[in-house]
Structure 1
Amino acid sequence: MKDSHDDTLLAEVAALLESSEHDGHPLHDALQRLYRHHCEQRGQMQRLIEISDRYQLLAMEARQVTQQRYERTLRRQQKLSRISDGYQALIQERNQALHQASTHDPLTELPNRRLIGERLESLVEARRRFTLALLDIDHFKAINDRHGHDVGDRVLVALTQVLSESLREYDLCARWGGEEFLLLLVDTDRSEAHTIVERLRLRLAEVCIRSEDQTISVTVSAGLSQHQPGDPHEVTVKRADQALLEAKRAGRDRSLTDTP
């Protein structure tokens, strides 16, 4: 609205200046100079506005280009971050798998000698009381020879399940090797441990495995030793192993403790 009013006023001034009847008027020359100056200023202002508009357009295009580059960079960073997170998760998973493989038996998933050895060392250092029990499946070789190692593995897994379900939360059962298991009974003396092992033996004798048309069950012999303060844990294991040998010589299917 204002531009239209200005254009009308300028048109009137231009008409007055072009009219010959006002040539002698004392304000004619001053009005003409003012008119020309205004037109020049208006032209300059229009050029500045055009320059400003082009600058604003270029600035907006530059912002759009910058925003697009930023979004592309952000997407690349997010993709790299996802790749990195996936790689880190894979590394962690591999490390956990390696740790599991190095500390647990692959068949029964029980702790192996390495892990239970570390636990025994920590108990000895802390001067904690504990009793060890070595369990050995009687005549296990005959099961493997007669029915095959697959059936023998099923027997080991079934016994492992019973042992894991029967022990207290703070006890530990490890596969010691072959058909042998090592029980770590924490804060338990020889007498109490013997009661626990006898109860376990009776439960293990109830385990049955079907193989074709046969039912397979096993008995277990055990040797126990209470750790003596100051002894390395290897000495306690050796005494439990000796007690296990005595149980086998006495006819198997029984548990014996070492001599106090």
Structure 2
Amino acid sequence: MYKISVSKELFNDIQLKKLKILEKSTSSYWKRELLEPKIINDKIKYSIKQIDKIKITNGLGEEKPQMIIECIKVDYSFKKDLFEFHLGRIIEQKNSNLDENYKDSLIQELLRERALLEDSMNRDHLTGVYNRRKMENDLAMFIHQNNKDLLTAVFIDADRFKGINDNFGHDTGDKALVYLAKKLQEYSNFLNGEVYRYGGEEFLILCFLPQYELKPKLLELKEEIKNQKIYHPKQDITLTVSMGVSFFKDCKTKEELLKKADNAVYKAKEQGRDSIVLV
């Protein structure tokens, strides 16, 4: 059985299945051991000897960590000029407890990967803001906070958005949504809140701000959205929004909070759009 000595970190990576291919340089030893010459049509050709298992060790002495691991196949990489041992299941281990520091760093890495995955699942793929799933989870938590009486729902609906898609194309419509989301995200910091894409051209901000501070900031946000043009070769596009605002202190449930804000958006559109209605 072939024996390969590796570093402590590499040994741990193999043990944890983080490394599936072990590379070895094409030294004269490995060429002699792995290359099998054959004479075919009076020409010498080489094939790679296949082995079923190898012993991998780390360190020196009898107590060194070691494992016997299945070798699925042995390949040669012309690009890297290396032999590649494709590793399978671990058949036997000895003195191979994971280093505590290594385990800690691995746990931290796994936790970071999990957090990144969870965050990506909570994001709208087009605009990058949080999605409706995240909004529902956050809202269920917000209504139980000590500052729940400040909780406000602000529905934002892009006006005449179908016309942008119809006249300028869906790519431009997507560009408009990205622009709108970015502007809402910017202002959410001033509103002490978070932005969510509710669906289509509808967005929602859940924020915690006294009512007397809220409306001036929303008016400023509405005007800034309208004043910045979205470029298109035909003509620059002006985007306006209608907003509906409701307050949790006036509601009995989170469903009522959302319903009131949604109804307020319809009132804003009935008033001619590009307006804000508080209920």
| TM-score, normalised by the number of residues in structure 1 | 0.64
Aligned residue among 43, 62, 81 for 2:12: 81
Partner-residue secondary structure (3-state), 2:129: coil
Unaligned ranges ≥5, structure 1: 1-68
Work out the CA distance in 2 between the residues paired with 1:251 and 1:164. Answer: 25
1:238 aligns with 2:254: no
Aligned residue among 233, 253, 256 for 2:274: 253
Unaligned ranges ≥5, structure 2: 20-105
Q: Which has the higher contact order (CA 8 A, sep 6+)?
A: 1
How many residues align? The count is: 187
Aligned to 2:131: 112
| Residues 194, 224 of structure 1: 8 Å contact kept | no
For the aligned residue pairs, the C-alpha RMSD in angstroms reads 2.7
Aligned to 1:203: 224
Aligned residue among 136, 149, 169 for 2:157: 136
Work out the CA distance in 2 between the residues paired with 1:85 and 1:165. Answer: 43
AA partner of residue 139 (structure 1) = R
Aligned to 1:61: none
Work out the CA distance in 2 between the residues paired with 1:248 and 1:230. Answer: 23
Partner-residue secondary structure (3-state), 1:125: coil
The structure with the largest helix share of the pair is 1
AA partner of residue 244 (structure 1) = V
The structure with the largest strand share of the pair is 2
Structure 1 or 2, whichever has the larger Rg, is 1
| Residues 140, 179 of structure 1: 8 Å contact kept | yes
Aligned to 1:182: 204
Aligned residue among 203, 212, 236 for 1:215: 236
Partner-residue secondary structure (3-state), 1:185: strand
- The equivalences for 1:1-260 within 5 A come to 72-73=4-5, 75=6, 78-83=9-14, 84=16, 86=18, 95-96=114-115, 98-127=117-146, 128=148, 129-168=150-189, 170-186=192-208, 188-228=209-249, 231-258=252-279
| TM-score, normalised by the number of residues in structure 2 | 0.60
Alpha-carbon distance change, 230 to 255 in structure 1, aligned in 2, over 3 angstroms: closer
AA partner of residue 79 (structure 1) = L
